Structure 1
Amino acid sequence: MKRICSIYKSPRKNEMYLYVLKSDGLEKIPENLLGIFGKPMHAFDLVLSPERALAREDIHQVLEHLETQGYHLQMPPAEDEYIEHLPEELLRRNDPL
């Protein structure tokens, strides 16, 4: 099952994204979520299918949320995840000699 999805980024929270079916647009997004998310800024469109891997989200969960609630909210990574992905040389620069 392939789905054409529009991805919107939040102007309020860095790395927070909303996935919606392109055909639905933003009509299924609850008002209270939009109040927290801010005015969605279109980032890009993407064809999603179970075979396609996403960088930070489980494709099966995204497709399920699109089907059941009409959207998927991608939250920013936790601060621990930022640190976990820092290159080793950046971590070493902060080590005392």
Structure 2
Amino acid sequence: MLCAVYKSSRKADTYLFVNKRDCFDDVPQALLEMFGVPQLVMVFPIAKRESLGIADIQKVRAALEEKGFYLQIPPPQVNLLAEHRESLGIKD
């Protein structure tokens, strides 16, 4: 099975995986509006991949089979200053 990956034109580090290139029929309209104009990043055979960047390959495959798409959002940013202040016992 081929998988097409698109990056969001509105949300940084947000990617949409779909089963077919330029086929967004299974993606909810509200999600597409939030996502913006999809920009193709790559098309690859997902069955032959053992891993992906930050996404769990098994979750991506399952979502593609069940829903027809997978949305990868960036992990939450860590506030290093707040963590450092907390480690020093400094409160705001």
Unaligned runs of 5+ in 1: 84-97
Taking only aligned residues, the RMSD between alpha carbons, in angstroms, comes to 2.0
Give the 3 Å change call, closer, same or farther, for CA 6–51 of structure 1 in structure 2. closer
Give the 3 Å change call, closer, same or farther, for CA 50–78 of structure 1 in structure 2. farther
SS at structure 2 position matched to 1:79: coil
> How far is 1:45 from its partner?
0.5
Aligned to 1:11: 9
Aligned to 1:52: 50
Q: Does 1:39 align with 2:37?
A: yes
> How far is 1:51 from its partner?
5.2
Aligned to 1:76: 74
| Partner Cα separation in structure 2 for residue 23 and residue 33 of structure 1 | 17
The runs of 4+ residues in structure 1 deviating greater than 2 Å are: none
Q: Which amino acid aligns with 1:45?
A: V
SS at structure 2 position matched to 1:12: coil
Q: Percent identity?
A: 35
| Partner Cα separation in structure 1 for residue 56 and residue 25 of structure 2 | 24
1:50–1:60 Cα contact (<8 Å) kept:
no
Give the 3 Å change call, closer, same or farther, for CA 24–10 of structure 1 in structure 2. closer
Number of aligned residue pairs: give it.
80
1:65–1:71 Cα contact (<8 Å) kept:
yes
TM-score where L is the length of structure 1:
0.74
> In the TM superposition, what whole-angstrom CA distance separates every residue of 1:10-63 from its partner, at most 9, and x where no partner exists?
011111000000267211111000111111111111111275111101111000
1:17–1:75 Cα contact (<8 Å) kept:
yes
1:4–1:46 Cα contact (<8 Å) kept:
yes
